[in-house]
Amino acid sequence: DTAVSQTPKYLVTQMGNDKSIKCEQNLGHDTMYWYKQDSKKFLKIMFSYNNKELIINETVPNRFSPKSPDKAHLNLHINSLELGDSAVYFCASSEQGQETQYFGPGTRLLVL
Amino acid sequence: GQNIDQPTEMTATEGAIVQINCTYQTSGFNGLFWYQQHAGEAPTFLSYNVLDGLEEKGRFSSFLSRSKGYSYLLLKELQMKDSASYLCASPHTNAGKSTFGDGTTLTVKP
- CB of A33 within 8 Å of a chain B CB? The answer is yes
Using CA atoms, how far apart are residues B78 and B13, in angstroms rounded to an integer?
Answer: 7
Using CA atoms, how far apart are residues A71 and B56, in angstroms rounded to an integer?
Answer: 34
Close Cβ partners of A62 (under 8 Å, ≥ 6 residues apart):
none
Q: How far is B89 from chain A (nearest CA, A)?
A: 10
Using CA atoms, how far apart are residues B110 and B108, in angstroms rounded to an integer?
Answer: 7
Which stretches of chain B drop beneath a pLDDT of 70? 1-2, 92-97
Asked if A79 and A21 count as a contact pair (C-beta separation under 8 A), the reply is no
Close Cβ partners of B40 (under 8 Å, ≥ 6 residues apart):
none
Asked if B89 and B4 count as a contact pair (C-beta separation under 8 A), the reply is yes
Predicted local distance difference test score (pLDDT) of residue A97: 60
Q: For residue range B36-67, list pLDDT tens digits in order.
A: 999 999 999 999 998 999 999 899 999 999 99
- Chain B contact set for A56 (CB, 8 A): 94, 96-97
Using CA atoms, how far apart are residues A80 and B95, in angstroms rounded to an integer?
Answer: 31
Residue of B35, B37, B87, B97 to mutate, testing the A interface (most A Cβ within 10 Å of its Cβ) = B97
Which DSSP category does B80 fall into? G
Asked if B98 and B89 count as a contact pair (C-beta separation under 8 A), the reply is yes
Using CA atoms, how far apart are residues B32 and B47, in angstroms rounded to an integer?
Answer: 8
pLDDT, one tens digit for every residue, chain A (112 residues) = 679 999 999 999 999 999 999 999 999 998 899 999 987 778 888 888 888 888 777 778 899 999 999 989 999 999 999 999 999 999 999 887 667 899 999 999 999 9
- Chain A contact set for B87 (CB, 8 A): 43
Using CA atoms, how far apart are residues B33 and B14, in angstroms rounded to an integer?
Answer: 25
Which DSSP category does B96 fall into? T
Which DSSP category does B101 fall into? P
